[in-house]
Amino acid sequence: MPSPRKPPTRKQRVPKPSKLFDPQSFLTHAGTGRTLHHYSAKKSIFSQGDRADDVFYIQEGRLRLSVLSKQGKEATIVLLGPGDFLGEGCIASDQPVRLATATAITDCTVLKIEKREMLRTLHQEHDFADLFVAHMVERHNRTQADLVDQLFNSSEKRLARALLILARFGKEGRSEEVIPDVNQATLAEMIGTTRSRVNFFMNKFRKLGFIDYNGGLQVHSSLLGVVLHE
C-alpha cells in the first residue's frame, strides 16, 4: 500500500506571483531611475546639442519642440501635451545629443526616465513596450501627415488642421480648450507661413464661428469642414 503523500515543505511551496506591472503607475510615480520635475512657463527641459541620456513623459502642461538652424532661424516642430513622450531619440545608439529644444509653454509636470531604466523596462515589460510602440507609431504617422499637409494643402487648411490637433479634436469624443499661450507667431512657424496670414485666417475662423476667444482659444468641431473641403 503506497504511503500517503507528504505536504510540501516550506522550501517546496510555490512562491506567490509578483505584483503585476502597471504602465500607468510607472509613468505616474517616481521610482528607480525615474524622477518628477516641475517647470514653469518658458523654462527649458533640454536644449539642442545637450547630451541625450533620458526620456521624458508629460503628465501635465504643454511643451514646445523647436530647432535652430546654423543661420540662427528658429522653427517650431510640434507642440506636445499630457500623455506624450519626448526625448525618445536617445534610445537610438546613433543619437547621443538632442536634435531639438524642449520648452515649457505652460507650467508642466514631467517624469524624467533614465535611458538605462527605460531600456530595461521596454525589454522586460511587454505592456509598457506595447504602449511605447503605439506612441512611436502615432508620432510617425503624425509626422508623415504633417509632411503631406505642407506639400499639398493651403496655409488656411494647414492652420485649421494645426488648431484641431492642438485641441486634441476627436480624442475622448470632444474638443478641448487650446492653451492661451500659443501665439500666432508659433502657429506661423508650425505651418510654414507668415504671422499676418495666420492673423487673417484666425479672424476669418472667428467670424465664421469656427473658433472663439473665451478665456482661451476654443476650437469647435465645425472647423473640421475647412480641412475636409476640397
Bridge partners (DSSP) of residue 58 are 110
Domain 154-228, second-level architecture: Orthogonal Bundle (1.10)
Between CA 209 and CA 160 the distance in angstroms is 13
Please write the tens of the pLDDT for every residue from 8-43: 555 555 555 446 889 999 999 999 999 999 999 999
**Does residue 216 surpass a pLDDT of 90?**
no
24-149 against 154-228: fold identical:
no
Give the 3-state secondary structure of residue 25: helix
Q: Which three cell numbers stand for residue 218?
A: 476654443
Please write the tens of the pLDDT for every residue from 143-187: 888 888 888 889 999 999 999 888 877 565 555 666 667 889 989
Q: Which three cell numbers stand for residue 172?
A: 475622448
Give the 3-state secondary structure of residue 140: helix
Please write the tens of the pLDDT for every residue from 56-106: 999 999 999 999 988 988 888 888 999 999 999 999 877 899 999 999 998
Average pLDDT across the chain, whole number: 87
Instruction: Extract the runs of DSSP E, i.e. beta strands, from 48-188.
Output: 54-60, 63-68, 74-80, 85-86, 101-104, 108-114
The class (CATH top level) of 24-149 is mainly beta
The pLDDT score that the predictor gives to residue 60 is: 94
Q: Are 82 and 61 in contact (CB under 8 A)?
A: yes
pTM of the model: 0.78
In the chain, what are the domain boundaries?
A: 24-149, 154-228
The pLDDT score that the predictor gives to residue 17 is: 46
CA distances from 228 to 1, 158, 180, 222, 223 (A): 83, 11, 26, 11, 9
